[in-house]
Amino acid sequence: MKRSSILVAALALGVLWQLAAWAVHRPILPPPLEVVRVFAVEIVGDLGLDFLASLGRVVASMALAVVTAVPAGLALGQSPALNRVFSPVIYILYPIPKVVLVPVILLFLGISDLAKVVIIFLILFFQILVLVRDQAAGLRPELVASVRSLGAGRRALFRFVYYPASLPAILTALRQSIGTAVAVLYVAELFATQRGLGYYIYLHGSTLFDYPRMYAGVLAMSLLGLGLYFGVDGLQRRLCPWQFAR
């Protein structure tokens, strides 16, 4: 996607928002420029701190998910025996909407940061696990055979075949689950916390009725999601250049 077309799309959305604000003409939909002004002021204060808190939680969850799901997915993907044992378990757990586990996890882990990280981690973990496993299992046997014929044993196969083959799967899984992760982050931050964009939006919207601030929070959350999405996209271009070579 070209930068200029993204900019044009953002401007178009801004114009639509402005038109809607004129049409509605009530405090519950402030015009975009006012929200941007409040955002600019708040982001160097409370909103900025909440943004960093939310960002920290998502990034920690992502890191934890990659570190655990990738080795597990690779192990399952290259060992049909292991996969036979675990795939029914994954089959049952994968489609469970992890967001319904929020109350359970809060009960067990309390209202700590850890609870919020664990919730997002669960979502990402299964996405990455399944994609990496299928990618590793789907490698053509001829490819593995020919690399083995070059002398590669198990360790070299991991290093030169399974690991690079799973990179796109890892990044695709991350990109696909960022939307869900940020949505669940919002839900998780509604519960007993003093920091985070979810809390910020809820506080200003439902408690203080400060709508421009609430919208500034929504804007920050959208930017968080977008930023992560672009970040992973950029990483994919850097780490997987062959996917973009034409």
**In the complex, what is the shortest distance from the CB of residue 240 to another protein, in angstroms, rounded to a whole number?**
7
Cα 48 from Cα 5, distance rounded (Å): 28
**Nearest CA to 141 among 160, 155, 159, 161?**
161
Residues 6 or more apart whose CB falls under 8 angstroms from that of 244 comprise: 237
**In the complex, what is the shortest distance from the CB of residue 188 to another protein, in angstroms, rounded to a whole number?**
36
User: Which two three-digit tokens encode residue 190?
Assistant: 């509604």
**In the complex, what is the shortest distance from the CB of residue 169 to another protein, in angstroms, rounded to a whole number?**
12
**In the complex, what is the shortest distance from the CB of residue 242 to another protein, in angstroms, rounded to a whole number?**
4
**In the complex, what is the shortest distance from the CB of residue 141 to another protein, in angstroms, rounded to a whole number?**
10
Cα 28 from Cα 181, distance rounded (Å): 27
6 or 159: CB nearest another protein: 159
User: Which two three-digit tokens encode residue 31?
Assistant: 């015009």
143 or 187: CB nearest another protein: 143
99 or 167: CB nearest another protein: 167
95 or 151: CB nearest another protein: 151
Residue 182 identity: V
Q: How far is CA 77 from CA 71, 159, 163, in A?
A: 10, 15, 11
Write out the residues near another protein by the rule CB under 8 A.
Answer: 140, 142-143, 145-153, 155-156, 159-161, 164-165, 167, 240, 242, 245-246
**In the complex, what is the shortest distance from the CB of residue 233 to another protein, in angstroms, rounded to a whole number?**
18
53 or 136: CB nearest another protein: 136
Q: Is residue 66 within 8 Å of 125, Cβ to Cβ?
A: no
Residue 102 identity: V
Q: Is residue 54 within 8 Å of 197, Cβ to Cβ?
A: yes
User: Which two three-digit tokens encode residue 241?
Assistant: 């250049």
158 or 200: CB nearest another protein: 158
